[in-house]
Amino acid sequence: MSKIVKVNKGKQGWGGPLTLKATDELKYVVSVTGGGIHPVAKKIAEMTGTTAVDSFKDPVPKEETMVAVIDCGGTARCGTYPRIGIPTINVKVMSPSGPLAKFMTEDIFVSGVTPGDLENVSDGETQELAATKSESETQSGNEDINNPKDKITVNDNITVTAIWKDIQ
């Protein structure tokens, strides 16, 4: 049985909850916070049996990224990872804003998160949350998997620059 983690929004945070489940393909928790691996990323990796990596030092392909943990008070990183389909946890309190705000939806983005906002859940609870997520994905459908700009790898500031140029 896989370990499943529910990520709730923090005090005065926004979005979520996110449900994270590692697979053979989704095996990394990327920390894009500067200064190493953030405690939230470390705890998620411990709870799910995945590997936490400092994305600035050791970038991994987006196809292998289960979740990105960021500390962005602005708009660029906050929207970058949701834009490419990676669930995003912002440890700073903020709500969607800026040019990438349309990608920061409650089903893929959560903010204000601390290690205390993480909890283990059972498969039964996960199925209920997945059904809700499935409905919202069907409604949004704004990703084009055949579009080369949706195949950018998670690679520190290069991703931010590439997407920023693309949307202007």
- Residues catalogued as catalytic: 72
Tell me the three state secondary structure of residue 110. strand
115 to each of 6, 7, 42, 101, 154, how far by Cα in Å? 11, 9, 9, 25, 23
Q: What is the phi/psi pair of residue 14, to 5°?
A: -140, 150
Which tokens in the block code for residue 26?
Answer: 């989704």
CA distance 38 to 76: 19
Sequence-distant (6+) residues with CB within 8 A of 99 are 75, 79, 164, 167, 168
**Relative orientation angle of helices 76-83 and 156-167, to the nearest 10 degrees:** 90
